[in-house]
């Protein structure tokens, strides 16, 4: 696909971000017959990130999560291989890394979030060696499995930062997969496993919180609530764990550390006029029902960058995208936005090899199960197979095609 000429700098719909949210919305708009859609995305690779936990747990190959961006861009959508660097919602323009200025009638913001590896002193320098890894980077997810397999004794530390993160269950899931592997190898008793979580409970929905508490007890995992890693010394293999309830800080020596970085909106959005002033992480303001920006209704926001009171997951995007498309098309036709998003999200909580809970809930933290006749609040083998094989198929052949 060729780059646009100056005469093509205006688009009826401009989508920023070619990840899950951007491609899903583009595909749905094309199926609705809309023309003149441009998608701004610099990367030529597309990752199905939910699989990285299973990669780190030795249950899936990394290549299963990879596709080229070119094969996923919907036909009829103009792919602009650049990065957005600024937005002026009053002028209805987006500026790109090359200095190009693109104007739009409707803007869809779906650039994802930014992994702030420097947000914990010492973390960026320690990554990838000395026992430090993270499933939040595709090149490190296979290393996680190598480290888990090599660990026979010592202390394994699994951390989660404060603030919203993508797939809020992922920091816990890899701890359970590691502990299950060590149990089966007969070495779990020789490994001190510590799980550091910033929230007052392991999960906000009570029924799933109880299930995860039991999972942690089963493996003998020390759960530190209201706590997070605040510093790291990679050379000494020590991490500072701060208890926010008491203010006390403890230095823990680790042999294996799986770290999840703090996460924020891209800087060009966090420092711009669309950011929500109530979000210390720079996420974009959005009406929680219509997914429009309250101050600029021609701007729609979905996915990880939206400041919504729900978990940042691909399952949330699957429910957000139809709302964005319906309300965007209504606006182009001069009609009010009537489609509403109820906050649905889903977190597949892998608790062991071939075992999983499926946590589905809405803005009010009410369980909203979508699979009839199955109790997904307890560990199930069929749910694990859904995550490993069913959901990737739904993603690539359904969501990204605009039909699921």
Catalytic residues: 167, 347
**Minimal CA–CA distance to 268: which of 294, 295, 305?**
305
Q: How far apart are the C-alpha atoms of 357 and 361, rounded to whole Å?
A: 13
366: Cα separation from own chain's centroid? 21
Q: Quick one: how far is CA 377 from the chain centroid? A: 22
Do residues 353 and 181 lie in contact, with contact meaning Cβ atoms separated by under 8 Å? yes
Exposure b/e, 129-155, CB count within 10 A at least 16 = b: ebbbbbbbbbebbbbbbebbeebeeeb
Tokens 């062991």 -> residue:
352
Calpha distance 404→402 (Å, rounded)? 6
How many Å separate Cα 80 from the centre of its chain?
Answer: 23
Stated as kind and residue range, the H or E segment containing 223 is strand 222-224
- Listed residue (247, 238, 137) closest to 194, CA to CA: 238
CA–CA separation, 350 vs 235, rounded Å?
32
Would you tell me the crossing angle of helices 20-31 and 314-332 to the nearest 10 degrees? 40
């Amino acid at each position: 696909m060729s780059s646009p000429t100056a005469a093509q700098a205006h688009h009826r719909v401009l989508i920023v971000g070619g990840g899950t949210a951007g491609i899903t919305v583009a595909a749905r708009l094309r199926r609705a017959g809309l023309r003149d859609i441009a998608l701004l995305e610099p990367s030529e690779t597309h990752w199905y990130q939910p699989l990285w936990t299973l990669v780190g747990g030795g249950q899936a190959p990394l290549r299963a999560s990879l596709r080229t961006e070119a094969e996923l861009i919907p036909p009829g959508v103009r792919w602009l291989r650049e990065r957005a660097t600024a937005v002026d919602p009053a002028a209805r323009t987006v500026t790109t890394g090359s200095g190009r200025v693109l104007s739009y009638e409707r803007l869809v913001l779906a650039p994802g979030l930014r992994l702030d590896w420097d947000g914990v002193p010492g973390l960026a320098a320690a990554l990838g060696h000395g026992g430090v890894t993270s499933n939040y980077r595709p090149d490190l997810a296979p290393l996680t499995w190598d480290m888990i397999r090599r660990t026979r004794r010592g202390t394994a530390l699994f951390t989660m930062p404060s603030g919203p993160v993508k797939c809020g269950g992922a920091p816990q899931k890899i701890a359970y997969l590691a502990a299950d592997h060590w149990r089966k190898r007969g070495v779990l008793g020789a490994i001190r496993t510590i799980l550091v979580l910033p929230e007052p409970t392991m999960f906000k929905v009570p029924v799933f919180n109880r299930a995860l508490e039991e999972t942690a007890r089963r493996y003998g995992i020390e759960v530190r609530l209201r706590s997070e890693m605040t510093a790291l010394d990679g050379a000494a293999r020590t991490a500072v764990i701060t208890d926010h309830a008491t203010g006390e800080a403890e230095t823990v020596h680790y042999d294996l550390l799986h770290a999840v970085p703090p996460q924020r909106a891209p800087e060009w959005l966090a420092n711009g006029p669309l950011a929500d002033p109530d979000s210390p992480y720079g996420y974009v303001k959005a009406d929680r029902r219509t997914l429009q920006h309250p101050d600029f209704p021609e701007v729609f926001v979905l996915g990880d960058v939206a400041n919504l009171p729900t978990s940042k997951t691909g399952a949330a995007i699957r429910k957000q995208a139809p709302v964005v498309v319906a309300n965007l098309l209504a606006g182009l036709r001069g009609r009010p936005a009537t489609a509403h998003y109820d906050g649905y999200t889903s977190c597949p909580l892998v608790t062991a090899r071939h075992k999983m809970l499926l946590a589905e809930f809405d803005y009010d933290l009410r369980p909203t199960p979508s699979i009839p006749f199955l109790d997904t609040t307890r560990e199930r083998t069929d749910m694990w197979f859904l995550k490993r094989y069913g959901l990737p198929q739904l993603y690539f052949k359904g969501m990204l095609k605009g039909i699921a």
